[in-house]
Structure 1
């Protein structure tokens, strides 16, 4: 189970997010939405989760296979239109990889855990503390 805690003090929209293991990140809204742009926006955090998970999954796969992957570059654009959400993801694999390996990494990217979460049924169960 993954758990985070988010707290907002006196600064509008500036949110400290912590994990039980002591990691932290700041979230904020852009200035045009009343924030101070001192951290990732919530949607940037969502897109970042997909980018980080994709990157780590591809890297782990290459490490296990002993493939010569020098860098994974991932660009993701979040598009919201007509009641639909699209994550437009572009992958670039740098290293001495043949076309078969590149295609396999493309397939591996599509099964990272965050990709699976985003493409399956999602329920948000909210309660007051």
Structure 2
């Protein structure tokens, strides 16, 4: 079964439907690439997926080991390159404070996050700058 169905809507926009759930999102080309920038661009979704994947993997890792995880948020800044046009760098900030992990647990959790599937998929082609805030820092 397909993961997603994507339909071009015109004016550099697409409708993306997640086949399993039926959830729909829309994309728009960014202003600096002839779009209106009114929705996520496809490369915004790649950048966003990186942080979402890290937080999801932390959740899985903690659930499997009985670690508390209820506080986690992140932001990502995407830096594009022009020739060829592609994502050149992602600057990611994760705030994992408030989970009460000791230093050893925090180190293991961070290691798991850095090995998330999206990270492994883009590691050869995109520079990653990562800052993580933990309890006691």
Q: Is the 8 A contact 2:2 2:19 kept in 1?
A: no
The answer to whether 1:45 aligns with 2:45 is: yes
Which ranges of structure 1 fall in alignment gaps of 5 or more residues? Answer: 122-129
Partners of 1:2 and 1:52 in 2: how far apart?
21
- How many residue pairs get aligned? The number is 120
More strand by share: 2
Distance 1:54 1:33 in 2: 28
2:18 — aligned with what?
19
* Corresponding residue number in structure 2 for 1:93: 96
- TM-superposed CA distance for 1:70, in Å, is 2.1
Taking CA–CA contacts closer than 8 Å with sequence separation of 6 or more, which of the two structures ends up with the larger relative contact order? 2
Residue 75 (str. 1) matches residue 75 (str. 2): yes
Change (3 A) 1:52 1:62: same
TM-score, scaled to structure 2: 0.73
On the 8 A contact 1:75/1:89 being kept in 2, the answer is yes
Q: CA RMSD in A?
A: 2.5
Mark the runs of 5 or more structure 2 residues left unpaired by the alignment: 126-137
**1:35 CA displacement:** 3.0
